[in-house]
Structure 1
Amino acid sequence: MSTPPSSAPALRFGVNYTPRRGWFHAWHDFDPGLAREDLAQIAGLGLDHVRVFHLWPLLQPNRALVRASAVDQLVRLVDLAGECGLDVLVDGVQGHLSSFDFYPEWTRSWHHRNVFTDPEAIEAQALLLRTLGRALSGHPHLIGLQLGNELNNLVEHNPVTVAEVDHYLDTLLGAARDGLGEARGLVTHSAYDAAWYGDDHPFTPEASARKGDLTTVHPWVFSADCARRYGPRSPEVHHLAEYGTELAAAYATDPARPVWVQETGAPEPHIPAADAPDFARATLLNAAGCAHLWGVTWWCSHDVDRSLADFPELEYTLGLFDSTGRPKPIAEALSTTVAELRTAAVRPAPRATALVLDCTPSTRSVSGPGGAFFDAWMRLRQEGTRPAVVLAERVEDTAYLAARGITELIEGK
C-alpha cells in the first residue's frame, strides 16, 4: 500500500521584488505609486507573496539611529503589497544585493567594525531588527522578518569563525523575534550556496537547517559552475532546487522542518533566454515533489535597467518582467505552472529511499555540483528513484528515519 499524500499546507509561490525604476536605489526617492504598479504586475501572474529589501545604510546611517522615515517606507511597501493581495517577507540587513555590498559608514574606513564579531556592531543590527519587527508587527500580510539577504557574502571582508557565526545568528534571530513579539510571523535567515557545499565555510549547513523557524535555500545554477558543468538543459540543472531542498532536510534535527526555496532564477548565459521557460517549469515541478517544501520564490520580479552601470551581465536579465514592465516568456511559464500546481493541490508522499551523505566540514564540497555525492544523487534521480538525503550520523536512528518515512538507505558514492 502506498503512503498517502501529505496534508501539509498549500505551497507558496512568489518572487523577490526588484523595483523596475532605479533598482534598490529607488529607496532614495521612494514612490508608492510606482511601487504599486510593480506589485500589481506581480500579483497579476497569480503569485501570492514577495520578498522585499531596504538598504542598510539608509535605514541605519548611525549605529544608534534607525531612521523612522525609512522604516515608514518599508511599512508602506508592505501595505501596498497587501492591497495587491500579496503577502510579504521583509529582509532586514542589506547587506548584499546582486553583487553589491551595502555597509553604513559607521562600519567602514576609520570606523571599521567586523559586522559579525564586533559587539557594538551586532547590537546595532539587533536594534535595527527589533525596530523593524515592532513597526511591522500585526500587519496582516506579513509573512515574517529575515535577518538579511545572504549575509555570508560578507565574510570575505569580515573574517568569522563557526562559533562566532552561531552567536551572531542566535543574537539577531532573538532580536527579530523580540521585535515581532507575540504577532504572527516567521523569523528566518538566509545564506548563499557556500553554506551548503563550501569546504570549511563558517556559515554551516547546521546553522541554516537548525536556526530560525524554517530553512531557506538559494540553489543557483551558477554555483560551483553547475549549468556550465552539466549543461543548461541537463537533469542536474532541472533538479537542482529539488536537490537543494532534500539536502537541507538532511541537516535538520526536526524531521518536519519546512524548507523554502527562497531564491532561484534563470541567469544568462548560464540559462539561455530560449531555455528559461522550460527551466522555470521544471524547477517548480521538481521542487514541488519534496514533501517538506514550504514554497518557491523566484529571483526576480523585474530586470535591472541597462542605464545602471557596473552590474554583472547576468543581473540585467533575471526578471520575470523586462525593465519596461513587459512580461517575458519565463513569466508566462512560471504563472502557468503555479496555476497547475495549485489546481492539483496534492502534496507528495515522503521519500522512502535515502542516499547517505558522509562528509566533514572540510569535504562538504562532495555534496555540491561536481562532487561525488551530488552526482550519485542525480544518477538515482535520473534512474527514476526519488531519493532523500540522510547524514551518516543518523543512519542508526530508527525513530528519526521512521519520522521521515525512510525505509531504504543507499550508501553515497
Structure 2
Amino acid sequence: MRFGVNYTPSDGWFHHWLDFDLDSVRADLDSIAALGLDHIRVFPLWPYFQPNRTRIRPRAVDQLCLLVDAAAERGLDVNVDGLQGHLSSFDFLPAWTRTWHRRNLFTDPDVLDGQAAYLRTLAAALADRPNFLGMTLGNEVNQFSAGPHPDPDRATEDEIDRWLTRMLAACEEGAPGRLHLHAEYDATWYQDDQPFTPAQAARRGAVTAVHSWVFNGTAQRHGRTSVPSEHHAAYLVELSKAWADDPHRPVWLQEVGAPAPLVPPEHAAAFTEATVAGALDCPDLWGITWWCSHDVSRELADFPELEYGLGLLTNDRKPKETARVLERAAQEPPRTPAPRTTALIVPADPSTRSLCAPGGAVFDAYFRLVADGVRPTTVLDVRAADQDHLCARGITEVVAPDQVLPSPQGGTRS
C-alpha cells in the first residue's frame, strides 16, 4: 500500500521548469518526505520540454533527472506524467499542435510520432533510476477528446484505443518493465459520449488509475458530509473493477483532494480522513496519491479559487491538518481488506455510462447500499451470471440497481 502526493512546486507552480531551482525543489521534497510519504507524481509541461515536434530539450530532460535523483535521496519514488496537457484549468499544448498548425492530438500521424518520441525519451532517461516507478501518459488527456472542452480533438473509441496502445508501447520501449499507465478524469466513467472508455481504463496499462473529485456534482447534490461525498473515491475504485479482466487488477487512486468551498478548509481534514478510510477498505488498492503537495501561490493569477488551497502544505512548506491525516494513515500497519461480496450490476454499454454518474441509477443504488452498511463492488451485466468470474472476485451476491430500494437507513435489497 503506497501513500504519496502529486508534487506542485511551492515556487512558481509548474512554471518552475522555466526557472529550475534544485535547492527549492529539494526543500519542497524535504517537506513531503517529512510526512512519511513514499512517492510523488511529477509533471513536466509538454510545451516546455518539446517546443518543436523534433526538438526535445536536453536541459529540460536533465532537470527532470535531477528532480528524480533528489527524490531518491529522500526515499521518494517517482511517477512521471508525460503529455501535459491539462493542469488546474490550464491547457499546455505545444504550438505545433494548435492554431496554424492545428492537428488532432489522437489521430494525426506526425503528432503521434512526436508524442511517442517524447514519452520514449523521458522514460529512457529515467530507466536506470531505481526510484522511477514509470510513466503516466498524461494528466486527464481525455478532456481534450470531447465536450465540455471548448476546442476538442475528437476521436473514435477505436482511434483512442490505438493511441493508448502506441503510447504505452513507447513508454515500455524507453523503460521496460516499469509501471506504465494512463489516467483520465471521471468523464471516462460517467460521460456517455467519451471516446476514452471504462474498458480501456481497466485493461490498458499496468494498473487502473482513478481521479476522484466531488465537485463533479456529488457534493453539490449530497453535501460534503454525505455518504456519496465521503465514499466517492472508494466508489470509483470499485466501479473500475467491473471492467477489469484481471479479477485482482491493482487500482491507483491517483488524484483525490478536498476542494473548497464545497469542502470548507475547516472541514478538509475530516473529509480527508473519511475519504482515505473508505479507499483503504477497497481490496487491490495500489495506493493513494493526494492532490496536491503545496498550495498555489497567490502571486499567480487566474487560477480557479479552489486551486489556491488544495495543498497538504502551505507555500512556506508548513503542513496543514490534512497533511497530518495522511501522515497518520501512512504510519498505520498495512491491512488486507476483506473481499466485497455484494456486487451491483453495471451496464457494459459505454453509451449508458451516465447511469453511473451522480444522479444516475447505479450511483444512487450503490450509495444506498453503503448507507445500509453493505460493502458493495460492481460487476458488468454481461458477467453477472459468470460463476467463475464471480468466484475469482469473492462475489457471492449480485443485485440490480432497481432491486436496491430507498429506506430510512439508506437502501435495502428487496
Instruction: Report the TM-score, using the length of structure 1 for normalisation.
Output: 0.95
1:41-76 CA-to-partner distances (Å, cap 9, x unmatched) read 011111110000011011111111111111111111
1:249 maps to 241
Aligned with 2:214: secondary structure?
coil
Query: Any gaps of 5 or more consecutive residues in structure 1?
Result: 1-10
Q: Which amino acid aligns with 2:165?
A: D
Q: Which amino acid aligns with 1:76?
A: L
Aligned with 1:310: secondary structure?
coil
2:288 to 281, 287, 296: 296
Deviation at residue 178 of structure 1 after TM alignment: 0.6
Deviation at residue 200 of structure 1 after TM alignment: 1.6
Query: Does residue 357 in structure 1 map to residue 357 in structure 2?
Result: no
1:7 maps to none
2:38 maps to 48
Q: What is the distance in 2 between the residues matched to 1:329 and 1:356?
A: 38
Q: What is the distance in 1 between the residues matched to 2:261 and 2:30?
A: 29
2:260 maps to 268
1:409 maps to 398
Q: What is the distance in 2 between the residues matched to 1:64 and 1:397?
A: 50
Aligned with 2:41: secondary structure?
strand
Tell me which stretches of 4 or more aligned residues in structure 1 moved more than 6 Å: none
1:89 to 79, 93, 98: 79
1:20-60 CA-to-partner distances (Å, cap 9, x unmatched) read 00000000011111001001101111111000001101111
Aligned with 1:21: secondary structure?
coil
1:390 to 360, 376, 379: 379
1:378 to 364, 367, 370: 367
2:192 maps to 199
1:47–1:335 contact (8 Å) kept in structure 2? yes
1:133-167 CA-to-partner distances (Å, cap 9, x unmatched) read 11010201111111111111212321111111111
Query: Does residue 307 in structure 1 map to residue 296 in structure 2?
Result: no
Q: Which amino acid aligns with 2:330?
A: V
Deviation at residue 359 of structure 1 after TM alignment: 5.5
Query: Does residue 13 in structure 1 map to residue 6 in structure 2?
Result: no
1:245–1:259 contact (8 Å) kept in structure 2? yes
Q: What is the distance in 1 between the residues matched to 2:103 and 2:201?
A: 24
Deviation at residue 323 of structure 1 after TM alignment: 1.7
1:75–1:136 contact (8 Å) kept in structure 2? yes
Q: What is the distance in 2 between the residues matched to 1:308 and 1:160?
A: 34
1:233–1:275 contact (8 Å) kept in structure 2? no
1:186 maps to 179
* Paired residue total: 397
Q: What is the distance in 2 between the residues matched to 1:307 and 1:386?
A: 45
1:159 maps to 154
2:53 maps to 63
1:231 maps to 223
1:25 to 15, 27, 30: 15
1:119 maps to 109
2:408 maps to none
Q: Which amino acid aligns with 1:174?
A: A
Q: What is the distance in 2 between the residues matched to 1:253 and 1:131?
A: 31
1:358–1:412 contact (8 Å) kept in structure 2? no
Q: What is the distance in 1 between the residues matched to 2:226 and 2:73?
A: 40
2:322 maps to 330
- Taking every aligned residue pair, what percent have the same amino acid on both sides? 54
Q: What is the distance in 1 between the residues matched to 2:274 and 2:114?
A: 42
Q: Which amino acid aligns with 1:222?
A: F
1:172 to 167, 170, 178: 167
2:82–2:137 contact (8 Å) kept in structure 1? yes
Aligned with 1:262: secondary structure?
strand
Instruction: Report the TM-score, using the length of structure 2 for normalisation.
Output: 0.94
Q: What is the distance in 1 between the residues matched to 2:105 and 2:346?
A: 33
Aligned with 2:78: secondary structure?
strand
Query: Any gaps of 5 or more consecutive residues in structure 2?
Result: 403-414
